[in-house]
Structure 1
Amino acid sequence: MNDARTVILHASQNPHDVTRAVNSARHLHAAHPELDVRVIVNGSALDGLLASGAPSAPDGVRVQACAVGLGKRGADADALPRGVETVPGAITTIVEAELAGAVYVRI
């Protein structure tokens, strides 16, 4: 999809921010199903994806975890909830999307 119709919700600080970002993404997608809504997680927030009971990717939303950060935690894609993808590096992914016109929201 054209990145001009993409919204990036970025969670990087607090593990609880992952749930907030996923819930916000779910509501945004419900209100605007034409958007490509992505939640990108890195930094300390990755612990929120690796915790028991972590949110899975809701329908219509891509949840993506930073592979670099996962590696620093000794984890890989197998440790992630259902439907959560990895990206090689969160910051590079975010910058590339913004350069292509994506909207950025820090959670």
Structure 2
Amino acid sequence: MSDRLVTLITAPERMVADAIADALVERRHAACVNIVPGLTSVYRWDGRIERDEEWLLVAKTTRSAYPGLEACVLDLHPDELPEILAMPIATGLAGYLAWVGAQTEPQG
């Protein structure tokens, strides 16, 4: 099994999504982040059903880079409890998965 992950993160507005995506790639916590507009989230919060327009970030990372990704999102995200979900990538194009690993390795 690959140590590569795909991570889903929601953001309440485009500026927040851009800031998180830029920071994740710049700090090598993610190799690539796709920003998908037009997401509607329906959820229960504080006993009420909420409906919000959000932006979806799809970040490709590794298990070893994930703790930094999570910490970075928590630092930059305005929500009290942001959505951060990571799922293993079972398989994929070998060259792309190698690139994800190379882009998330610490430099120095």
TM-score between the two structures when normalised by the length of structure 2: 0.27
> Which has the larger Rg?
2
Structure whose residues are more often helix by fraction = 1
Name which structure has the greater RCO, CA cutoff 8 Å, separation 6+: 2
TM-score between the two structures when normalised by the length of structure 1: 0.27
Structure whose residues are more often strand by fraction = 2
